[in-house]
Amino acid sequence: MLFVLIGCSPSGASAHQRPVAEVLAQGSSELAQFTFDHPRSLFSEVIARSAKGSPEWQQATFGLAVCLQNNSPVVAEAITEASRLYSELIATSPESTFAPRATLNLGRIAELVDYFKDPVDLEAARARYSEVMTRWPDQDIASEAALRLASAYAQEDTTEANTKAIATLETWLAQHPKDPLASGMYQWLGDTYYMRAADAKQAVRCYIAADDLGLLWRGREGIVYWRIAQIAERKLKDRDLAVRYYTKLCEKAQTSGKAFEAQLALSRLGAPVPELTAFAAYKGPRPPLIDPPPPHQSQAEVGK
Amino acid sequence: MSDLELGGGNNLDEDEDGKPAVANFTKRLAKPKPPTATPSRGWRRFVGLNAIGVLLLVGSAGWSGLRVLSIHNENNDPNVKTIRISHWQLESGYREAMQSVIDDYNAMHAAEHVRIVQVPVTERIYGQWLNVNLIADNAPDIAELGMARLATTGESVAKYFMPLGREVLKPNPYDAEKYLDDLEERNPDIIKRLTTAPWRETMVDGMRGGYKQDLQDYYSVPMAFFTQRMFYNRDLLREITGTDQPPQSLGQLFALGERIRAWGTEHGRVIDPIAGTRYHRDVFVWNYRVTFTNAYQTELDTDVSGSITPIEAWAGWQSGKISLKDPALRAYFEVVRKICEMFNPNFAAMDRDQAIAAFASGKSAMMATGSWDGQSIFNGCKFSVGVMNFPMPAPGEPYADYGKYSISEASSAGGSGFGITRNTKYPEISLDFLRFISSHKWNQKLNRKNGWLPIAVGTTPAERMVPFMPTPYGVISDAGFGEGYEAETKISGQIDRFFLGEITYEDMRAGVDTLMADPKIGFDHIWFKAFEKERDQSRSLERTIAVQSARQLMGTGDDETSAKLLETILDQAIGNNGNNLRHLYQVQNGKPFPEEQ
């Protein structure tokens, strides 16, 4: 009797009568709002009600796999099922718009520690990233795969692997200089040259290239400006470059917290010191800029 | 007719003999009436003290009932759109300031039958209260984010609060020129920015305070800036020193502390130089740690990011690039200990309110806290209150070689952020109110009345809050024992004992060195925990990437989705799943990274 009542309930009835497209749209919308638990049942329903390989099936299969991969707490069984779904999607609909991301996500599953004691398989991850670069070379996701491939090499942390990591991206960037992720790749290369190859000159070249393309870090540009200026001043002894980026920091990244130190550096280097106009309302004490300006500059120029 | 006959009195109670009081009626009636008492006639027969009491009781109950009903009707009036906004700001003046802005909004939108209602909840239970209501789908339409786990962690915020990313790209209609009549400086650039720039650009911090990096979106709108300063009792300073000028240097602060103690002894009064608690001590700790350890940035900031991360500091402690033997470190610890000696002796056992009360009652001459306490202190003190920056060592003074600059407040993000809950029936009105309260005119009004620092571009604070305006003329790096897990807790205990004067600097140093070298909780354990944390953060970013890429593929994204996806991919890739730490460890220590223990 209870089952009959439940079966006859309005909600139960409407769930079965809702068009597949509506259920799919709801699942996709919930997933877009960082909800991973509830959409699983919606995507499962679409999979059950759609023809295998149909556009609805592809989207629902991908959606369900994403939910399983990311629903907290992540468990081994869910990751296994997500992998199966991604593989099934790629095998059934290799031309699907979801296939490249599904392939890349298989690489992510191999690379990341998804649950306690989950083994990392960098080689398997690299194979997936290479596959994306080879099969979909003209899609944006190929550049992400290139960055992932380089990172998966760097994580080996051997001289040989670091060299491969750098070569991977340098080659890619030479072929795809205007890639949407190019700026990010240059920034990653800058870090890798500086931290892993101890090559300050190449690091600065890459950071500048990233800046010229437009940094992907919005609101955090000051970190890159500071890095270029500091390496230029301390390692490369390139005064002009240091002045250029300390000045840029004072002008474009006043809220980075490093603007006053950039002012001190400009004073130290004998360069004009821009005012921190964003803080004009501050009327309290201001420490002096220690190093005296060169004779040709007035006090006003150095922002006293 | 007597009062008893009107039914008053405890006639069913027992008397002293234990007999029912009713049985004693006749006894009482037999007592002679006072000579002045005359029998009541007409309407007067119904009036007596007991009758008035009953009437008052019935009246009060009736009035209460009506009030409950009227509030219930107001809240459930189908013609009125009620928006509830919750917060935990019970400081003096906040609710009144918020109400004045709410009143303006309600008046402006009366024709649309919109009513904003604030729901202040004490911070002691705010988190629990909000968590419960979010889960129960009964949360207020707008809530101050924080305190509650569900209003803090990325996943929960995404689940229970609305993203504002699309909205912050549009200009704020309440910054239209007709509303800029309170703009003091008619700077064309400011007017242009307020009237035409995206909403987020009309905030001094670019709305950074409302941005959730892990979700790559804006989930709250900050209402104010917060900074820390020292307060001082001008009248008391004048009485003691002959001038109300505050100390201009650290040396002068210590000299003033000694003078205050001596003056108290001379005048038979107990006056502490500074009102303190552990909370207020940490205000000094934070400010002076930056001053005295910033210079380590050159050595410790391995990735040249402009700040010393906790693990970079630990790497420094391990390599000896920073040591408690260093004069700069010793200077820092001595300075804070001397400041603690200026506190009330029992400071470790006192709470925040007690310290404010001690300052307000003139038992302490100074105190250090944030601008959020400004209004309470200004309103609660009967004397003239001064505000000063944390004094630095002046040239020639002790410690001058080790600390020159105070903390920079330029990178401060706004606080007291409000977000829109997903259960609201009126997301458009909630959003509209957030635009209203964060606009130049009303953000300035809110914060001037409340005594906080407004955050909208072109605003100015109340006159007495001007000294709190954020200074960019300082530094931001510091090295401490943060993110040291078990070792940090035990090291903090050693440091506490030193600040309390229980152990010497040498004893503290020996204790801290022993803890850092402990194989179970020391350096290697901390390295591993840091690696684990970075690896987890990387995994957490995978969720953001999953959602952004799904939005892109499923057509549920917006113009910003691609940019957000690329930025998150870079954020994740740049950390190499925590393996940069492994590399740093191996380069520094020349041995394999300590694996899972």
Q: B interface mutation test: which of A26, A62, A70 has the most B CBs within 10 A? A: A70
Chain center to CA of B589:
41
Chain A positions in Cβ-Cβ contact with residue B553 (cut-off 8 Å) = 59, 62, 97-98, 101
Distance from CA of A295 to the nearest CA of B (A): 24
Q: Does B557 touch chain A (CB under 8 A)?
A: yes
Please answer whether residues B98 and B65 qualify as being in contact, where contact means their C-beta atoms are separated by less than 8 angstroms: no
pLDDT tens profile B43-54: 566 567 777 788
Structure tokens at B202: 């009309």
Residues 150-209 (B) with a CB less than 8 A from some CB of A: 154-155, 158-159, 163, 204-206, 208
- Render pLDDT for B113-161 as a digit per residue (tens, 0 to 9): 999 999 999 998 999 999 999 999 999 999 999 999 999 988 889 889 9
Tell me the nearest-neighbour CA distance from A32 into chain B, angstroms.
Answer: 6
Q: Which residues of A are less than 8 Å from B158 in CB distance? A: 33-35
What is the per-residue pLDDT for B44?
A: 61
| ipTM score for this prediction | 0.90
Residue B306 near residue A260 (C-beta atoms within 8 A): no
Task: Inform me whether the C-beta atom of residue B346 falls under 8 Å from chain A C-beta atoms.
Answer: no
pTM of the prediction?
0.83
B574 to A187: CB separation less than 8 angstroms, yes or no = yes
Min Cα distance A1 → chain B (Å) is 30
Query: Between chains, do A279 and B404 touch, taking CB under 8 Å as contact?
Result: no
Q: Would you call B570 and A111 a contact, using CB atoms and an 8 Å cutoff?
A: no
Copy the structure tokens of residue B391: 């004094």
Which residues of chain B neighbour A97 with C-beta distances below 8 Å? 553
Q: Which of residues 496-525 of B touch A (CB under 8 A)?
A: none
Interface probe for B, chosen from A195, A251, A267 (most Cβ of B below 10 Å), is: A195
Min Cα separation B579/chain A (Å): 6
**Cα–Cα distance measured from residue B446 to residue B437, given in angstroms and rounded to the nearest whole number:** 8
Most B-contacting residue of A157, A213, A215 (CB-CB within 10 A), to test interface: A157
Residue B49 has a pLDDT of 72
Chain B contact probe: residue of A43, A191, A276 with most B CBs at under 10 A: A191
Chain A hits for B476, Cβ within 8 Å = 257-258
Q: From chain A, pick out residues whose CB is under 8 angstroms from the CB of B159.
A: 33-35
Q: If you ran DSSP here, which 8-state letter would residue B456 be given?
A: B
Walk along chain B (597 residues) and give the pLDDT tens digit of each residue: 333 333 333 333 444 444 334 334 334 434 444 444 455 556 566 567 777 788 888 888 888 878 777 766 666 777 899 999 999 998 878 999 999 999 999 999 999 999 999 999 999 899 999 999 999 999 999 999 999 999 998 888 988 999 998 899 899 999 999 999 998 878 888 899 899 989 998 998 889 899 998 888 899 999 999 999 999 999 999 999 999 999 999 999 999 999 999 999 999 999 999 999 999 999 999 999 999 999 999 999 999 999 999 999 999 999 999 999 999 999 999 999 999 999 998 899 998 889 999 999 999 999 999 998 888 899 899 999 999 999 999 999 999 999 999 999 988 889 999 999 999 999 999 999 999 999 999 999 999 999 999 999 889 999 989 999 899 999 999 999 999 999 999 999 999 999 999 999 999 999 999 999 999 999 999 999 999 999 999 999 999 999 999 999 999 988 888 998 999 999 999 999 999 999 999 999 999 999 865
Q: Taking CB atoms and an 8 Å limit, are B563 and A216 in contact across chains?
A: yes
Helices assigned H by DSSP within B161-233: 188-196
* Minimal C-alpha gap between A127 and chain B (Å): 17
- What's the rounded Cα separation, in Å, for the pair B193 and B203? 10
* Closest CA of chain A from B50, distance in Å: 59
Beta carbons within 8 Å of A143's beta carbon, 6+ residues apart: A172, A176, A179, A180, A181, A182, A185
Whether the CB-CB separation of B243 and B386 falls below 8 Å is answered with: no
Characterize B507-532 residue by residue with b for buried, 16 or more Cβ atoms within 10 angstroms of its Cβ, and e for exposed: ebbebbbebbeeeebbbbbbbbbbbe
Q: What is the DSSP string of A118-144?
A: PPP-HHHHHHHHHHHHHHSTTSHHHHH
Measured CA to CA, the distance from residue A111 to residue A150 in angstroms comes to 12
Q: pLDDT digits over B390-400, tens only?
A: 999 999 999 99
Find the CB nearest A113 among B467, B539, B576.
B539
Is the separation of the CB atoms in B157 and B419 below 8 Å? yes
Cα of A279 to nearest chain B Cα, Å: 7
Angle of CA points A97, A99, A103, to nearest 5° = 145
Q: Inform me whether the C-beta atom of residue B389 falls under 8 Å from chain A C-beta atoms.
A: yes
**Which of A37, A172, A258 best probes binding to B when mutated, by most B CB atoms within 10 angstroms?**
A258
CA distance, residue B568 to nearest chain A CA (Å): 9
| A148, A194, A284 ranked by CB distance to B389: nearest | A284
pLDDT at position B57 is 86
How many whole angstroms separate alpha carbon B521 and alpha carbon B488?
9
Question: Nearest by CB to B473, which of A28, A33, A287?
Answer: A287
SS3 content of chain B, % helix, strand, coil (to 5): 55, 10, 35
Query: Residue B214: which of B539, B597, B583 has the closest Cα?
Result: B539
The verdict on a CB contact (< 8 Å) between A111 and B577 is yes
Find, in chain B, the residue whose alpha carbon is nearest to that of A111: B577
